[in-house]
Structure formats: C-alpha cells, structure tokens
C-alpha cells in the first residue's frame, strides 16, 4: 500500500530490523522449545544431560502427555474450566469498570473532599473498635454506615479542601503495593464470612479488584491521547455522555483496550497465591496444577512442561485473534472525517 512512499524503510534498515526481530524471537522461543522437548522426554533423558532434538538425540515418548490427559485428566479438565471462567469473567469485568473509571478520570473533574475522606477513615476505625469490643460485625457495619451518612451530611460538608483526579488515580495504583502474601489470610477470613470460599466467584471478585488499577492507569493514557474535538461535536449534536463513550471513544481507543484486555487476562490467568488460598478442590486453577507437579517425588519436569504448554495455548489463540485490532489508522480516519 504505502511501500513506495518516502517513509518505507530502506533495504538496509529492513535487514537490520529482521535481524533484531529474529534475535528476540529466538530468546523468547528457545525456552518454550525446551519445554516442548522436555514434555517428550522420559525421565532418564532429562537427567542424563542436555538432549536437544527428538529422534536424533533421544526417542520421543508421549508418556507425559498420556499421564496428564489420562490419570490426571479429570482434575486438569476441572482446573482448566475454572481458569477459563475466572480469567474471562474477571478480565471482562475489569475492562468494563476500568475503562469507565479511566474515562471519568480523563474527562470529568472530581473533587473528593478531604473532610469526607477523613470522616470515612474515622468511621472505619470506630467500626474496628466496635468489633474489637465484641459487637457482631453486621451490627457494627450498620452503625458505622448510619454514622458516616450523618457525619458527611453535617460536618463533612464544612471542609473546603479537596483532592483531584490524579490523587484518585494514585490511590488506585497504591492498592497494588502490598504483596499478596500478607493479604491472603485476611481475604480468606473475608470470603469465609461471606460463604464464598472455594468458589470461582471469590476469585473473580478478587482478580477484578486487584487488576482494576492497572486497567485504569493504562486506559487513562490511551483516552488522553484521543482528541476531544470529536466528543465536543457529538455533544453539540445532542448525544449523551454514555452514547459518546460507547460509540465514539471506545472504538477509537481499541488498540489500547485490546492491549489492556490481554494484560488483565493473563494476570488473572496466571495468578497463583490467591488461588492457592481461596480454592480447594472445587475452584482450583491451572497455576496450582503447575506447581503441584513439583511435589514429594521431586520436580517432575516432563509433566510440568505439559501442563505449562496446555496453559499457554488459549492465550496464544487469543493473542492471534486480537492482535489485528492493535493496528494503526483508526484515529487518523476519524479525525479527518
């Protein structure tokens, strides 16, 4: 199409580009090739030293694949289904809530009052005190909510100092600072109280909440990059905010949305520690199966390779399917038109 335009890369730079692309492709693919080879090896072929090529260096065997799909089959299938459900549901939810919040943060001005935030914190501390004094938590929650409502209607409105959009964004991302190791036990207690332990729902809620900051931060930048003239035109024509968001902004931000979707999907797909705590037999996910291959009998590299490989497949499939949407040109046409 534009091959003959002055911006087409010169032959030399083309060769160099391909060279660089190939080098990194090898860096990425070699470890995965090693997984494939290992999945075809008998234990003895793994322990005798490096063997690179099936049929040449060693006789490939499908024992690992047969074991994973045979005796392990039912638990793998269960875990696979859970992972799919949890990852897809939570990443779609994250995307919906995240793009909305990010759009809000780039197009509206929020002024959360310091007074209200402080009274919120004070109410929470009071709630903690009440529970520590032996009140049932449901009762304490009701008391605190009523009190919070009263305080914000009276005292909270008197303070003038307020924060801005960037403070809200920073609060969101700061939720990711605490390492999951310390949060899992409180989360366990929380879901135990709600009766949601060992259900996909618990994982979906947790992953959505933990991945939201990333979605918001990434989408915020893509939305900032979209010129606002288009939206202003639509507004003059009488379109509602929601209409503008759904039919103008979202299509324009498609590359960013797809990239963000893939990222939050793999985060949910791969999460290990929270899944370990919140699920037992029922809601087990694939990352748990991977680490389960390293157990009392040492690390069974051949089985582990198979499990990792079947975990990669759907993600590759999605990446191939969605990669085309990370394309240039959408914005150009829109602004010209």
**Could you say which residues in the range 79-118 bind another protein, by CB under 8 A?**
97-98, 100-101, 103-105, 107-110
Rounded to a whole number of angstroms, the minimum distance from the CB of residue 191 to another protein is 10
Q: Does 139 bind another protein (CB under 8 A)?
A: no
Binding residue for another protein (CB under 8 A) from 12, 56, 182, 236? Answer: 182
| Of the candidate residues 181, 237, 295, 337, the single one contacting another protein (CB under 8 A) | 181
**Alpha-carbon span 199 to 202, nearest angstrom:** 6
**What is the x/- site pattern for another protein, positions 233-272, by CB under 8 A?**
-------xxx--x-------x-xx-xxx-xx--x--xx-x
Which structure tokens are listed for 6? 């002055």
Nearest CB to another protein, comparing residues 128 and 150: 128
3-state secondary structure of 300: coil
Helix (H), strand (E) at residue 294: strand 294-295
Residue 222 neighbours by CB under 8 Å, 6+ apart: 253, 255, 256, 257, 260
On the CB side of 273, how many CA atoms lie within 13 Å of its CA? 9
Taking the least distance from each CB to another protein, the nearer of 172 and 197 is: 172
Please choose, out of 12-20, 59-67, 70-78, 148-156, the segment that lies near another protein by the rule CB under 8 A: 12-20
Provide, rounded to whole angstroms, the least separation between the CB of residue 101 and another protein: 4
The token pair that represents 261 in the structure block: 């979707």
Only one residue has tokens 């999907």, namely: 265
Angle formed by the axes of helices 73-107 and 301-323, nearest 10°: 40
- Where in 284-323 is the site for another protein (CB under 8 A)? 286-287, 290-291, 294, 299, 301, 304, 307-308, 311-312, 315-316, 319-320, 323
Applying the rule CB under 8 A, the residues between 15 and 34 that interact with another protein are: 17-18, 20-21, 24-25, 27-32, 34
**CA nearest 72: which of 315, 303, 302, 287?**
303
Neighbours of 83 (CB within 10 A): 26
With contacts defined by CB under 8 A, how many residues of the chain interact with another protein? 124
Q: Least Å distance between CB 168 and another protein?
A: 7
- Other beta carbons less than 10 A from residue 337's beta carbon: 6
4: Cα separation from own chain's centroid: 41
For another protein, the binding residue among 82, 91, 119, 206 (CB under 8 A) is 206
């Amino acid at each position: 199409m534009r091959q003959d335009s002055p911006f087409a890369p010169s032959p030399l730079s083309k060769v160099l580009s391909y060279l660089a692309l190939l080098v990194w492709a090898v860096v990425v693919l070699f470890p995965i090739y090693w997984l494939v080879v290992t999945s075809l090896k008998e234990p003895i072929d793994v322990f005798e030293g490096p063997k690179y090529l099936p049929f040449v260096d060693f006789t490939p065997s499908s024992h690992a694949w047969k074991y994973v799909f045979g005796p392990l089959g039912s638990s793998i299938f269960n875990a696979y289904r859970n992972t799919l459900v949890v990852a897809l549901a939570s990443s779609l939810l994250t995307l919906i809530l995240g793009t909305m919040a990010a759009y809000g943060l780039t197009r509206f001005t929020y002024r959360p009052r310091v007074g209200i935030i402080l009274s919120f914190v004070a109410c929470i501390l009071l709630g903690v005190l009440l529970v520590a004094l032996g009140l049932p938590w449901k009762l304490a929650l009701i008391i605190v909510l009523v009190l919070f409502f009263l305080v914000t209607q009276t005292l909270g409105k008197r303070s003038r100092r307020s924060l801005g959009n960037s403070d809200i964004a920073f609060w969101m991302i700061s939720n990711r600072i605490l390492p999951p190791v310390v949060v899992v036990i409180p989360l366990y207690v929380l879901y135990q109280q709600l009766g949601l332990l060992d259900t996909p729902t618990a994982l979906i809620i947790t992953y959505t909440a933990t991945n939201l900051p990333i979605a918001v931060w990434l989408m915020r930048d893509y939305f900032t990059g979209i010129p606002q003239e288009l939206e202003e035109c639509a507004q003059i024509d009488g379109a509602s905010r929601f209409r503008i968001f759904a039919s103008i902004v979202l299509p324009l931000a498609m590359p960013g949305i797809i990239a963000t979707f893939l990222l939050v999907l793999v985060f949910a797909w791969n999460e290990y520690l929270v899944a370990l705590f919140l699920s037992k037999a029922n809601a087990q996910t694939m990352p748990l199966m991977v680490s389960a291959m390293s157990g009392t009998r040492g690390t069974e590299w051949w089985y582990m390779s198979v499990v990792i490989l079947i975990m990669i497949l759907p993600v590759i499939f999605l990446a191939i399917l969605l990669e085309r949407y990370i394309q240039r040109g959408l914005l150009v046409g829109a602004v010209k038109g």
